[in-house]
């Protein structure tokens, strides 16, 4: 399965003069391609005909929803609300939902990986914590990061950060082992924002055999994620 999501985040002041920021987010476009058993199914939220298919109805019900999040001064989510139009949802149990939860998870990932103190080129640091992965329960991770130095990305000078490590936990309907994570972050110090981040999670799931209940089957799974900043629109002066 391949999913391409274009999202928009509007930054606002938190009510009551509280420190931090309020974010209102929506999915502007979602494209899905599913390949299984020799067949290919596609969905494009911008295509009206796609919205009426079984696959389209499954995803469109979530694309229409918006989210409102309050982040404190440490960029941690302290309040979350889902709102906006809803539609009749056609459930496809074998496919994941994709909508408001992903908008929240993307924001939750933003502060992860950055050290609490200044670092120089070549320096390393470690991060341990909790992360959610599609199709699995809460996972613990242990990652090592390294400052790669400065590099050009889309004609902008960015700080390159590479990372890798392991994950541990249990999936809701299967056990997994050998979970490894590796990736890269490109941080723009002028914007103080991440311009691009990529990561690959590789693991082996052990699931029951479809015909023999007591015979486990090992299934290799790989999830690739790529996040890219498209553009930033400065707030209007008041």
Residue 77 token pair? 């989510």
Give mean pLDDT, residues 47-67.
Answer: 84
- CA dist 190 and 77 (Å) reads 24
Q: What is the DSSP letter of 237?
A: P
What pLDDT does residue 8 have?
93
* pLDDT-derived band at 23, boundaries 50, 70, 90: very high
Residue 3, φ and ψ in degrees, nearest 5: -125, 130
Q: Could you give the CA distance from residue 131 to residue 146 in angstroms, rounded to a whole number? A: 20
In this prediction, residue 120 carries a pLDDT of 94
Give the pLDDT confidence score for residue 170 in this predicted structure: 64
44: confidence class by pLDDT, cuts 50, 70, 90: very high
Q: Read off the pLDDT of residues 70-116 as tens digits, 9 standing for 90 and up.
A: 999 888 889 999 887 765 555 666 666 677 888 888 887 777 788 88
d(CA 28, CA 131): 25
pLDDT of residue 167: 81
DSSP state letters, 183-213: EEEEEETTTTEEEEEEEEEEEEEEEE-SS-T
pTM of the model: 0.80
- Tens-place pLDDT, residues 189-216: 999 889 999 999 888 877 777 777 777 8
CB atoms within 10 A of CB 156: 14
Instruction: Note the pLDDT of residue 34.
Output: 87
**Long-range contacts from 107-114, C-beta under 8 angstroms, 24+ separation:** 107/9, 107/23, 107/25, 107/69, 107/71, 107/77, 108/77, 109/197, 109/227, 110/75, 110/194, 111/74, 111/75, 111/76, 113/143, 113/145, 113/161, 113/163, 113/185, 114/187
Task: For residue range 124-139, list pLDDT tens digits in order.
Answer: 999 887 766 554 556 7
Structure confidence at residue 168 (pLDDT): 77
What pLDDT is recorded for position 99?
75
Q: Which helix (H) or strand (E) holds 102?
A: helix 100-109
9 vs 109, residue with greater confidence: 9
């Amino acid at each position: 399965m391949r999913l391409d999501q274009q999202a928009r985040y509007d930054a606002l002041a938190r009510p009551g003069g509280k420190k931090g920021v309020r974010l209102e987010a929506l999915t502007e476009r979602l494209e899905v391609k599913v390949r299984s058993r020799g067949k290919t199914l596609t969905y494009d939220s911008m295509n009206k005909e796609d919205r009426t298919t079984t696959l389209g109805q499954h995803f469109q019900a979530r694309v229409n929803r918006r989210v409102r999040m309050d982040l404190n001064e440490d960029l941690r989510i302290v309040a979350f609300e889902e709102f906006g139009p809803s539609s009749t949802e056609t459930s496809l149990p074998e496919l994941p939902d994709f909508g408001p939860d992903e908008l929240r998870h993307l924001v939750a990932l933003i502060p992860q990986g950055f050290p609490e103190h200044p670092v120089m080129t070549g320096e390393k640091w470690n991060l341990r914590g909790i992360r959610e992965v599609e199709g699995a329960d809460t996972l613990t991770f242990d990652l090592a990061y390294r400052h790669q130095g400065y590099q050009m990305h889309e004609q902008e000078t960015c700080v390159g950060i590479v990372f890798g490590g392991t994950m541990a936990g249990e999936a809701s309907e299967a056990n997994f082992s050998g979970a490894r994570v590796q990736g890269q972050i490109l941080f723009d110090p002028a914007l103080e924002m991440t311009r691009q981040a990529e990561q690959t999670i590789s693991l082996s799931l052990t699931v029951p055999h479809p015909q023999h209940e007591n015979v486990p089957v090992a299934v290799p799974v790989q999830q690739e994620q790529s996040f890219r900043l498209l553009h930033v629109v400065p707030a209007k002066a008041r």
